[in-house]
Structure 1
């Protein structure tokens, strides 16, 4: 079993988004993920959650994959695609007013 976890301050995500806009999003999200987060009421929390989720998955793979190799889709619960293929990774994403976090487990 492999486990990855990440936590981020949402202010850091907000600052990067305000400074770099779409360029920042394009570095770590797919077009579908961008559309999904920008459709939400709490955009920064969604972006932070996706960022943490991808960092947690990258840790499972010991850094052998990057942000763009991972896509998080929502199907009632988050589903992890790695290099466009559904994975067995279980993912939990959470956030508060100030932080986002994610835990990824590969059984």
Structure 2
């Protein structure tokens, strides 16, 4: 299955301005939050928006959306040594959805972040 999501970076900025780090804690684990921090400890808003889009796209690819069957913290985003993103499900969710592989692509342009997820 394929899932796609797009989010306005300005929308993510407003969310972060309203809730600060608490905004990130609503959809990211500590390791993911660390990936969204700039070297000066400010939040990299485009990256946070990309991570939001990635998790939404993954939930769509799994056919359930964000809700009782899958929440934001059931998915974990990491970066490879070449800075390529990947997304992984919590072990119990891998079994629930019978997933063998997940591919992720995130892009930013024109004030938007978009993510595409392919689940096999």
TM-score by length of 1: 0.89
Q: Kindly report which structure 2 residues correspond to 1:1-107, keeping only aligned pairs within 5 A, or say none.
A: 2-39=1-38, 43-61=44-62, 62-63=64-65, 64-75=69-80, 76=82, 77-83=84-90, 88-107=101-120
CA displacement at 1:39 relative to structure 2: 2.8
Moved over 2 A (4+): 39-42, 84-87
Q: Specify every segment of 5 or more residues in structure 2 that has no aligned partner in the other structure, as ranges.
A: none
1:38-74 residue CA offsets vs partner (Å, 9 max, x unmatched): 1368811100100000000011221331101001100
Q: Specify every segment of 5 or more residues in structure 1 that has no aligned partner in the other structure, as ranges.
A: none
> Partners of 2:56 and 2:102 in 1: how far apart?
13
Note the aligned Cα RMSD (angstroms): 2.0
**Structure possessing the higher radius of gyration over alpha carbons:** 2
